[in-house]
Copies of this chain bind each other. A is one copy, B any other.
């Protein structure tokens, strides 16, 4: 019983600053390039789609960025989130490792995405924006942005990958509950959507296509900006609250992490989890960072490291990343999120520099891990998060084989209650 630890922080103990790993990493990121001219993009050019404070956060090298009070207050509705020791999983695996998971599913929309949707809505609001347009895959980001939009009085328009829109009606209801407007993508709202449909009536959609549609809407609408739920530096910055809390929580129980794990789609949950451990990583290479991704969308493990667009139409800046190609569409059978063709530039560079390991799991492997976790730990995990569980299990089994008393930490980025159809 005493072994079943849940480590809580009080609201007062919540970090008051985000951490920017770019201040400490021993390399400069390759700059984003203008998609037309292929010239290095100036920050001002980004202001076509993002408000100024967001652009500043995208390029800053400041180590600590103060979290605005209004954002802290909204965070406090669900943060700090608990760090839980997976005692039952440890016993089941008979591993000498101690496994901890950071549970982000307690957020209002059930995933870590509110960590960045709230500040993004806040900065857009104070910059005079009326409407935020975005895309969403499985719907986690769309619901998180809708919730944040409602909090700060913004209209939210969401282009949702068509397969997910059809497979996951509950997410649509959640977006609607928070007054967001959701449209399946490709749609007839945009020229690019029309083109995609004219080429293939049954186009299942992809994140790349949905981003193109969202951007097209932004360019044609007054006082509208774009919001991205992953990939970019400012998103990973906001997500650093996850890893910062984990560090405080581990400290409370006198543990230190040997392996830090996150699932990888665009990189926001992974980055938020591992980047605050960068100082430890740089001073002690025994800490392992592990990205877990789906075999059906294996950007880090099978992608090429090169400049590519973030979207299919080629409207976004070119960024240096691991990519499966901007035209990549994951197989329709692929049920979870994590369906992005590329990766966050910071994450890609960490991988490229040998500072980050990556592993891919099949859909069957991740669902097995998810069902096991639900039964043992009493939380139904999101399909995305289940990749991290599979990674933690893999590490715990290795620790058993090597008789190593490792501390394994992963982020359970969300619950899977709105994805239950996928389990059946």
Residues of A at under 8 Å CB distance from B? 1-2, 4-6, 8, 10-12, 72-73, 76-78, 88, 106-108, 110, 147, 150-151, 169-170, 173-174, 176-178, 371, 374-375, 377-380, 415, 417-418, 420-421, 423-424
Known: A11-B5, A77-B88, A375-B150. A423 touches B170 (CB 8 A): no
CB pair A6–B2 under 8 Å, yes or no, is: no
User: Closest approach, in angstroms, between the C-beta of A320 and any C-beta of chain B?
Assistant: 37
A421-B12 in contact (CB<8A): no
Take A107-B378, A378-B108 as given contacts and tell me if A8 and B11 are in contact as well, using a CB distance cutoff of 8 Å: no
Interchain CB contact under 8 A, B72 and A417: no
Chain B residues closer than 8 Å to A151, beta-carbon distance: 375
A76 with B417: CB separation less than 8 A: no
Q: Are A174 and B1 in contact (CB under 8 A)?
A: no
- For A421, list chain B residues within 8 Å (CB): 169-170, 173
Complex CA–CA separation, A229 to B290 (angstroms) = 43
Tally of this chain's copies: 2
The answer on a CB contact under 8 Å between A420 and B11 is no
B8 touches A1 (CB 8 A): no
Contact A173 B424 (CB under 8 A): yes
Query: Beyond A88-B77, A421-B173, A424-B176, is A379–B108 a contact (Cβ under 8 Å)?
Result: yes
- Min CB distance A79 to B, Å, is 10
B4, A76: Cβ atoms closer than 8 Å: yes
List, in ascending order, chain B residues with CB within 8 A of A77's CB. Answer: 4, 88, 377-378
Q: Which residue on B lies nearest to A379, using beta carbons? A: B108
- A-B pairs, 6 with minimum CB distance: A108-B378, A173-B420, A77-B378, A4-B76, A417-B417, A173-B424
A368 CB, min distance to chain B CBs, angstroms: 13
The distance in angstroms between the C-alpha atoms of A77 and B177, with both chains bound, is 30
User: Nearest chain B CB to A341's CB is how many angstroms away?
Assistant: 30
Docked Cα-Cα span, A424 to B176, in Å, equals: 7
A-B contacts, 8 of them at CB < 8 A, read A1-B73, A2-B11, A77-B377, A170-B417, A173-B424, A176-B423, A177-B371, A177-B374
Question: Which B residues are CB-close (under 8 A) to A170?
Answer: 170, 417-418, 420-421
Contact pick for A174, options B4, B78, B420, CB 8 Å: B420
CB within 8 Å for A380 and B76 given contacts A11-B2, A108-B374, A375-B150: no
- Distance (whole angstroms) from the CB of A75 to the closest CB of chain B: 9
Closest to A106 in B: B106
| Distance of A169 Cα from B177 Cα, bound (Å) | 19
Which of B2, B420, B423 has a CB less than 8 Å from the CB of A12?
A: B2
A169-B421, A174-B380 provided; 20 other pairs, C-beta below 8 A? Answer: A1-B11, A1-B12, A1-B73, A4-B73, A5-B11, A6-B10, A8-B8, A107-B378, A108-B374, A108-B380, A150-B375, A151-B375, A173-B420, A173-B421, A174-B417, A174-B420, A177-B371, A178-B374, A178-B375, A415-B417
Hey, which chain B residues are within 8 Å of A374, CB to CB? 108, 177-178
- Neighbouring B residues of A380 by C-beta, 8 Å: 108, 174, 177
Which residues on the B side are within 8 Å of A4 (C-beta)?
A: 11, 73, 76-77
Closest to A110 in B: B417
A160 to chain B, nearest CB (A): 15
Cα–Cα, bound, A380→B417 (Å): 12
Q: Give the distance in Å from the alpha carbon of A76 to the alpha carbon of B84 in the complex.
A: 11
Contacts of A174 in B (CB 8 A): 380, 417, 420
CB contacts (< 8 Å) of A108 on chain B: these are: 374, 378-380
